[in-house]
């Protein structure tokens, strides 16, 4: 089975927790805070590797998580950062968010890396929270959770030349003749169930060049493939990566269709799938001429060029079995490959280099927020979920529940251990510094109402 698409669940490692500790030594009973910060969690990284050509290794395990950071220690010692988890994928892998279908990255260069799930930030120890008004903080942060995603990996083969044709057109035989590839070959339709790649070495054709190019044998396309018939569009996507297309035609007719009919149908299927593919440089090859008398060859060629006169300079006749008239085509394809590669290099020089800086862990600076009233709740039923309760306040049997959403405030809430007295006061300080407290007042919040931030619920205090 050819694994050219797979869905995975990936998650960065959680950050390590900070530590609450006070320095202790002989004759020093109340030393300063020295709790260290937790280590950052490791990230999940996708890396393109030319040694892979399928997603076979991911056919079993679907869940991948990087290592978490270790906790902080006393004496201001920071915990160890979690190891990154590197997942190797084939060159030409497209990465999508499986939930939104958004394309995240195109790993089209060998060695290219992409951080697909960042690790969580390590929590600060109590030594970090010392200030002029807080000399002995008795709280710390817990490590943030790692980024989590469902992703879909889709492979598109990277080749210089792509062979396109009906089943049994002789594509596999052709590629086995011009390269060292050894595809399975048989005298029946749909022999090729997976794409085959072969490297054509120009020195084998007395060109005096040590250069080479990659040619891909795509599984046979039939009428209706773009709509899912036969092998469907499963392999049409691989044509997208090739710079040059070769339409290989069967002169003995496939399914009672001559070479004119075959070419018309092949172009229509590709156009239906993705019209811009027809803008690629292409050549038309009538294969299997070793079994056709020369006069019949010329007659077939004349019939084709009568229907498609614009293909006069792109039409070739060859034999993938005997190698007859193969050298002119190979050299023509090499010329086209060099032109395509040169064009890509020029385009790359003209474009401004764009680089994306990725932090090795998930850190949020976005301080935007939204305050929303949800509904009223019964105090007695909701009380077990609430932190920072007003002591002795039983005058509000029904309370309003407000939701506060925002990247930065949610991260602070996630990383706060609300079981620690000092930590709950820090949350209230942050709400005031970010003006969220004032926005809650405007929304109608009063003492004792509930405020939900991330997975925490606290009481609103307007004291």
Q: pLDDT per residue over 162-220, tens digit each? A: 888 887 788 888 888 887 655 444 444 444 445 677 788 888 888 778 888 888 877 65
Tokens read off for 174 = 């052709």
- Burial (Cβ within 10 Å: 0-12, 13-18, ≥19) of residue 217: buried
What per-residue confidence (pLDDT) applies to 351? 42
Task: Return the domain boundaries, the chain.
Answer: 5-155, 161-350, 364-459
10 Å Cβ neighbour count for 224? 14
What per-residue confidence (pLDDT) applies to 358? 42
DSSP state of 346: H
What per-residue confidence (pLDDT) applies to 221? 58
Give the span between the Cα atoms of 403 and 373, in whole angstroms: 6
From the list 172, 208, 183, 202, the residue with the least C-alpha distance to 329 is 202
What per-residue confidence (pLDDT) applies to 380? 80
DSSP state of 133: S
What per-residue confidence (pLDDT) applies to 187? 45
Give the span between the Cα atoms of 263 and 265, in whole angstroms: 5
Give the span between the Cα atoms of 342 and 128, in whole angstroms: 55
From the list 426, 423, 430, 392, the residue with the least C-alpha distance to 409 is 430
- What count of Cα atoms within 13 Å lies in the side-chain half-sphere of residue 242? 30
Do the domains at 5-155 and 161-350 have one common CATH topology? no
For β-strands 212-217 and 161-165, DSSP reports them as parallel
Domain 161-350, CATH homologous superfamily name and number: P-loop containing nucleotide triphosphate hydrolases (3.40.50.300)
Give the residue ranges of the chain where pLDDT is below 70.
1-4, 29, 157-158, 180-195, 219-238, 343-364, 389-395, 463
Q: Which residues pair with 115 in a beta bridge?
A: 45
What per-residue confidence (pLDDT) applies to 193? 47
CA separation, residue 392 to residues 26, 249, 324 (Å): 42, 87, 97
- Using only the alpha carbons of the chain, give its radius of gyration: 32
pTM over cut 0.75: no
| CB of 69 closer than 8 Å to CB of 13 | yes
- Burial (Cβ within 10 Å: 0-12, 13-18, ≥19) of residue 366: exposed
Please name the helix (run of DSSP H) or strand (run of DSSP E) that holds residue 200, with its range, or none. strand 196-201
Tokens read off for 417 = 């251990």
10 Å Cβ neighbour count for 321? 16
CA separation, residue 394 to residues 314, 379, 444 (Å): 88, 9, 20
| Per-residue pLDDT tens over the stretch 16-30 | 999 999 988 777 767
From the list 171, 185, 167, the residue with the least C-alpha distance to 286 is 171
Please name the helix (run of DSSP H) or strand (run of DSSP E) that holds residue 350, with its range, or none. helix 326-350
Specify the CATH number for 5-155; select among 3.40.50.300, 3.30.360.10, 2.70.210.12, 1.10.3720.10.
Answer: 2.70.210.12
| CB of 450 closer than 8 Å to CB of 382 | yes
């Amino acid at each position: 089975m050819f694994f050219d698409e797979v869905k995975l669940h990936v998650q960065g490692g959680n950050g390590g927790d900070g530590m609450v500790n006070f320095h202790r030594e002989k004759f020093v009973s109340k030393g300063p805070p020295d709790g260290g910060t937790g280590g950052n969690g490791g990230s999940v990284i996708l890396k393109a590797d030319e040694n892979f050509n399928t997603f076979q290794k991911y056919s079993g395990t679907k869940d991948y998580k990087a290592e978490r950071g270790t906790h902080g220690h006393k004496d201001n010692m920071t915990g160890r950062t979690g190891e990154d988890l590197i997942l190797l994928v084939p060159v030409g892998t497209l990465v999508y968010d499986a939930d939104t279908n958004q394309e995240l990255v195109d790993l089209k260069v060998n060695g290219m890396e992409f951080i697909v799930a960042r690790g969580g930030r390590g929590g600060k120890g109590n030594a970090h929270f010392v200030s002029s008004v807080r000399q002995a903080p008795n709280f710390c942060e817990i490590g943030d959770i790692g980024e989590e995603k469902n992703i879909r990996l889709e492979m598109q083969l990277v080749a210089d030349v792509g062979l396109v044709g009906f089943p049994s057109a002789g594509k596999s035989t052709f590629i086995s003749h011009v390269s060292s590839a050894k595809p399975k070959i048989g005298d029946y339709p749909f022999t090729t169930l997976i794409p085959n790649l072969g490297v054509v070495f120009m020195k084998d054709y007395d060109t005096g060049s040590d250069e080479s190019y990659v040619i891909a044998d795509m599984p046979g396309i039939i009428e209706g493939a773009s709509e899912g018939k036969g092998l469907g569009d499963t392999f049409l996507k691989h044509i997208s990566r090739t710079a040059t297309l070769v339409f290989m035609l069967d002169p003995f007719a496939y399914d009672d269709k001559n070479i004119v009919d075959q070419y018309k149908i092949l172009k229509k299927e590709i156009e239906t799938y993705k019209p811009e593919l027809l803008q690629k440089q292409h050549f038309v090859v009538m294969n299997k001429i070793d079994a056709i008398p020369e006069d019949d060859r010329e007659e077939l060629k004349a019939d084709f060029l009568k229907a498609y006169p614009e293909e006069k300079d792109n039409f070739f006749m060859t034999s993938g079995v005997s190698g007859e008239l193969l050298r002119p085509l190979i050299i023509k394809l090499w010329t086209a490959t060099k032109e395509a590669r040169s064009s890509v290099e020029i385009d790359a020089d003209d474009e401004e280099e764009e680089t994306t800086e990725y932090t090795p862990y998930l850190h949020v600076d976005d301080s935007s927020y939204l305050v929303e009233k949800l509904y009223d709740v019964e105090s007695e039923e909701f009380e077990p979920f609430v932190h920072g309760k007003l002591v002795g306040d039983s005058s509000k049997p029904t309370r309003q529940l407000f939701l506060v959403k925002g990247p930065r405030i949610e991260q602070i809430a996630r990383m706060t251990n609300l079981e620690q007295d000092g930590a709950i006061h820090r949350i209230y300080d942050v709400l005031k510094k970010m003006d969220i407290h004032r926005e809650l007042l405007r929304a109608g919040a009063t003492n004792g109402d509930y405020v939900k931030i991330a997975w925490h619920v606290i009481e609103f205090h307007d004291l």
